[in-house]
Structure 1
Amino acid sequence: MNQRGFFRPPQAWVGDVIPWQEDGTFHLFYLHESRQVPKVGMPWHRVVSDDLVDFRAMGIALASGGPDSPDFNVYTGSIVVDDDGVHHVFYTGQNPDRRGADGLPLQLVLHATSRDGMDTWERHPEHSFGATPGYETADWRDPYVFRDADAGVWRMLVTARHVEGPARRRGVIAQCVSHDLRTWEPVEPFWDPRRYLAHECPEVFEWNGWWYLVWSEFSDSFTTRYRISRDLHGPWRVPENDTIDGRAYYAAKSAARGDRRFFFGWISTREGDTDDGAWQWAGTLAVLEAEQNTDGTLRFRPPRELAATFDDRIAALTSGAVLSAPDGYADLILPEDAPRSFRVDARFDIAPNTTECGLLLRATADGDQAYALRLEPKRGRLVFDRWPRLTTGGEQWQISGDVPFAVELERPVALPPGEHRLEVIVDGDLCVATVDDAVSLSTRLYDRTAGHVGAFVGEGTVIVTDLVVSAPGAADEARPRVPVPLATTA
């Protein structure tokens, strides 16, 4: 993996990202997961970028407090800057040896400040506090602080759980307010739908007259969701498609630059680096850009700056190839082997009543074995699939052919007859697909490391009006790297 547009530290993985944008530079703090056993304590690290293509690692930002500290593990939080230009970080502290009233590892909100542009942080243990009455002591994390100018207060949203109620529905976004960023007073919950186990990594922001509430949940699904409202205090409306990506993309939080807003999450790894391995916590930093629809809902795709780096066209089909199989299957496989990192930009004119069509990645020359990104107009979705699928034994029926796609790797998308665009960026074992510049699906590609690109149709007709495969070109490799400032001032 060349890390263009993505980031993973050597011998470690990216957990939850805490993004902060200042003076045009993105400062991306993240939970640095080493997967060492025994555990060594979770620190925050920082990377910076001004173009979201190249990232510069800055090392440890907020170290583990040590084995006897309440913040042995430095978990997710947020950053703000006050009127004096002082940066404040609020974060979760957890030590598995410190137990709360419920007998589980205690979680606390902790505070630190920086007066040198976020290069160093001074901890303020006297400002620490745990769950307020009515909430479980082991779930009090991910503080998100923002300024409510209308009310003249700072607000803190906290991932919490009620002490009573059905165990799977106690999740709540608790709320505290402050006038000085030092003492906090509990107030009514910010959002209390009694809907999920927990609402991790919450954030709220205003954008062009709309308010957005974003959080990640892991009870009904493992994904990042959002709600919209015309008012900070709701009511919050559920968009028709309320997820940012699929199962593999988690804990996404955002930062704006100008009128552009970017979401920073991680693409999960799989155990054993295999397609059938269980999803793991943490992975590779990946960026999605959000754009607004007129009704306030959002569409998502990778930043255009990343797509622009794939400027070496290595294969193309622009003659308008027709794939027709009214009651069968047809495909077209490009003769060139795709490199390890590549981009596909395809446009399909889908005929009415077509069951499926899409792209094959890392396919054999006959197209029989491949990863597949399948558009299903009748079901209104994009799914990720592969063949061969998992084999559980030597008999004919011991192949999971009854699993119609990779579980949890599906995205709802409207696919009426007509032209639709499917863009795919592959970098090593990473894959990010986008339909119509609006719906994204991220995943991993482990088992198949090479092969061809192709297009296919099943039970219908599609015209492949354009299909271009590009690699990172020499022009991108030679482009000057703009120095990124190590620190900025407010």
Structure 2
Amino acid sequence: MSKLFFRPKDAYVGDFIPFYEDGEFKLFYLHGWRENYDDTKDIGWFLISTKNFLDFKELGACKIQGGTGSVLKKDGIYHMFYCEFTENMQTVCHAVSEDFEKWIKISEDSFGPEEAIYENTDWRDPHVFWNEDTEEYWMLIAARAKVLSNRKGCVGLCVSKDLKKWEAKAPIYAPNLHESAHECPDIFKLGDWWYLIYSGYTDKFATFYRMSKSSTGPWITPEVDTFDGRAFYAAKSGTDGSNLYIFGWNPTKTNNMFGWNPPAYCGSDYNTWDWGGNLIVHQLVQQADGILTVKVPDIIDKKFNQQVPQSFTPVIGPWSIDNNELEVSSMYSFSCALGGEMPKLCKLEGTFKYKPHTRALGIVLRADENVDKAYYFRLEPHRNRIVFRSHVMEYEEGGKTFPYEVELERPINLIPNKEYSFKIFIDDTICEFYIDDKVAFSTRIYDIKEGKWGVFVSEGEAAFKELFLKIM
């Protein structure tokens, strides 16, 4: 079980619904039992609370059996909006509570899509908030617009004065980009900017965001319009009044869903991504131009305060090494240096900079002595991206059978001779990579259980400094 990224025993988490009150985040989530389910167990919404994203109190099922939604408080009463699924339709539902524990469904408040505007196949994940600009409650809904194209995915809109009677309006955002409904929609205002968040699983699998100076749009797509990569999904925002966070989940990889794996392969790194996994919390920071960047929450970062001494050794290439400062000129070849063994729970950190014309550089994880098997975070300046590669890409059969060039990637604008910082948090199979406290990159590492960490350069020149391994 993970010590750093929450997952309940014998189950998995998805679609967090954050609510902050009395100095703690109360996080509803969808509880996935998978193979551990039987008819004696509760399903639907479960609740945990935390003050620090490290220690969690499990408060159990809240007896609401439905899909994702939102919670708000009005006049001392808590209001929960969620969705229920029937054979042919999805329905928005409303429940109330006086104590945040016992929830009572108000059946007469349930409603489906307005069929003149929306398809009846998708009508879920209601997000409700008071819009001060329009002086009414808004409900954003994961929906599909009634248009001729299959690219029907949109963020639907309903408005209300009393949280009971809702009027359907035209979608707040319908860009004709995705076939899928824009899942888990979310919206908030920070300074002069409104931010619209949604998740999609067609065309690209990610949590996206858009920006506008008005709650009604037009919605601008930033240059990097995602908070993380494929292994972070269905994220929704929450604030403690001082800091802004986004709560998503890192999926597991338990199934060979499409039968792509080689016959003799018995690991998990080849597997397809599941629904559900472990909680991941990123901290959001608004830049001067309104762009949102992502960093590890300060409280998690500071928890890793015990430094483990490291000694780096050249494995391949002509390295210059002085304690934890390493340099190499490897213009036409691959070079790698390794440090110490990696605990299952640890933080790796350091800085790097590279010279012009460098093709790639980065970090290796759980490497064997010859770096024949390892995981790689590979920065490619000529493509302005970070790539994650597992060991399966590096050997002959892996190169033949892997169906695409990279496993995961994130865009990043890389500049030669500029110093960058990195932080990597590892907890068993979960791996979270941050660069410059601005870029996040989530993944899983299953097959290689142990090994050393280090740095590499491929066809270029680079320097790495302040390389540390820390534990809690």
Q: Same fold (TM over 0.5)?
A: yes
1:375 is matched with 379
Letter in 2 for 1:89: M
Tell me the SS of whatever aligns to 1:126: helix
Tell me the SS of whatever aligns to 2:300: helix
1:45 is matched with 46
Question: Aligned pair 1:89/2:80, yes or no?
Answer: yes
1:478 is matched with none
1:78 is matched with 70
Q: CA deviation at 1:38?
A: 7.9
Q: 238-247 or 180-189, which moves further after superposition?
A: 180-189
Q: Distance in 1 between matches of 2:131 and 2:419?
A: 44
1:309 to 303, 324, 339: 303
Q: Does the CA contact (< 8 Å) of 1:381 and 1:411 recur in 2? A: yes
Q: Deviations over 1:229-266 (max 9, x none)?
A: 11111111110000010001100001011231000000
1:143 is matched with 126
1:236 is matched with 219
Q: Does the CA contact (< 8 Å) of 1:429 and 1:445 recur in 2? A: yes
Letter in 2 for 1:287: V
Q: Distance in 2 between matches of 1:446 and 1:232?
A: 43
1:204 is matched with 187
2:58 is matched with 57
Q: Distance in 2 between matches of 1:342 and 1:263?
A: 22
1:28 is matched with 27
Q: Does the CA contact (< 8 Å) of 1:42 and 1:75 recur in 2? A: no
Tell me the SS of whatever aligns to 1:246: coil
Structural RMSD (CA): 1.9
Q: Does the CA contact (< 8 Å) of 2:47 and 2:59 recur in 1? A: yes
TM-score by length of 1: 0.87
Q: CA deviation at 1:389?
A: 2.9
Q: Distance in 2 between matches of 1:322 and 1:37?
A: 50
TM-score by length of 2: 0.90
- Equivalences for 1:154-173 in 2 at 5 Å? 154-167=137-150, 169-173=151-155
Question: Aligned pair 1:361/2:352, yes or no?
Answer: no
Q: CA deviation at 1:37?
A: 8.3
Q: CA deviation at 1:62?
A: 3.3
Q: Deviations over 1:344-399 (max 9, x none)?
A: 10211211111111110001022221000011111111110122438796xx9745
Q: Does the CA contact (< 8 Å) of 1:345 and 1:424 recur in 2? A: yes
1:443 is matched with 443
Q: Distance in 1 between matches of 2:275 and 2:38?
A: 15
Q: Does the CA contact (< 8 Å) of 1:367 and 1:454 recur in 2? A: no
Q: Distance in 2 between matches of 1:427 and 1:200?
A: 28
5+ residue gaps, structure 2? 256-266, 312-322
1:385 is matched with 389
Q: Does the CA contact (< 8 Å) of 2:71 and 2:79 recur in 1? A: yes
Tell me the SS of whatever aligns to 2:225: coil
- Describe the shift of the 1:364–1:17 C-alpha distance in structure 2 as closer, same or farther (beyond 3 A): same
2:336 to 306, 331, 334: 331
- Describe the shift of the 1:206–1:416 C-alpha distance in structure 2 as closer, same or farther (beyond 3 A): same
Letter in 2 for 1:347: T
1:481 is matched with none
Q: CA deviation at 1:2?
A: 3.9
5+ residue gaps, structure 1? 65-73, 100-105, 473-490
Q: CA deviation at 1:42?
A: 3.8
Q: Deviations over 1:189-227 (max 9, x none)?
A: 211212212210001100122100000011111100000
2:229 is matched with 246
Letter in 2 for 1:26: F
Letter in 2 for 1:244: F
- Describe the shift of the 1:399–1:174 C-alpha distance in structure 2 as closer, same or farther (beyond 3 A): closer
Letter in 1 for 2:406: F
1:184 to 156, 161, 166: 166
- Describe the shift of the 1:363–1:390 C-alpha distance in structure 2 as closer, same or farther (beyond 3 A): closer
Q: Distance in 1 between matches of 2:48 and 2:310?
A: 36
Q: Distance in 1 between matches of 2:94 and 2:272?
A: 35
Q: Deviations over 1:118-137 (max 9, x none)?
A: 11111111110011123222
1:321 to 326, 342, 364: 326
- Describe the shift of the 1:190–1:76 C-alpha distance in structure 2 as closer, same or farther (beyond 3 A): same
